[in-house]
Amino acid sequence: MQRTREDLFAVLVREHEAGLLAFVRACVHDAADADDLVQDTFVTAWAQLAEYEVDRPFAAWLRGIARNKIADYFRRSTAQRRHVHILPPEAVAGIADEFERLSRPARGEVFRDCFAALRECLETLSAAEREVVERAYRQNQTCRTIAGEVGEGVEAIKKRLQRARAALRDCILGKLGPEALHV
């Protein structure tokens, strides 16, 4: 199953929404305005997604967009003579730096690490286990179909798939630690 650009962006939004909201609310004290800025940040990120460099952490890229949105918010508020608590740009930069330090995953971007670990762990499976995983998850074949095509019993295929999944789980946990279960 091929994921679309929209699907991948939705995953990134879910993964980073809470952190981005915390960052923006640390800078903008009005909750409704902060929520609007987060939404606007994601809209801008979607529009500029082609410019995102995949080697950079996505969260840092989002916070960069949000910093610009926050600066615009403070400029508009001042021009409209709205009473807002304005943080100086160096304070926003300091918050961004601290957020970067606190939110930096120990091993890079979560999904990238999980997929890399999965690829490595797939290589540790036997050829028969890899084949059943390939057929079940990439080709969306049922255990009954696989059994018929390889000339084995359905229960044998189910057991092989069960063992392969357990081996993959253990291997990924060994590479990424227990926090991998929460992805």
Work out the pLDDT band at 182, boundaries 50, 70, 90.
low
Q: What is the DSSP string of 120-149?
A: HHHHHS-HHHHHHHIIIIIS---HHHHHHH
More confident call, 107 vs 158: 158
Taken in order of first residue, the domains within the chain and their CATH numbers are: 5-103 (1.10.1740.10), 110-182 (1.10.10.10)
> How much of the chain exceeds pLDDT 70, in percent?
78
Cα-to-chain-centroid distance, residue 80: 37
On whether the CB atoms of residues 133 and 164 are closer than 8 A, the answer is yes
Query: What are 142-178's pLDDT values in tens digits?
Result: 999 999 999 999 999 999 999 999 998 888 888 877 6
Alpha carbons 131 and 177: distance in angstroms, whole number: 26
Local confidence band at 104 (pLDDT 50, 70, 90 cut-offs): low
pTM given for the model: 0.48
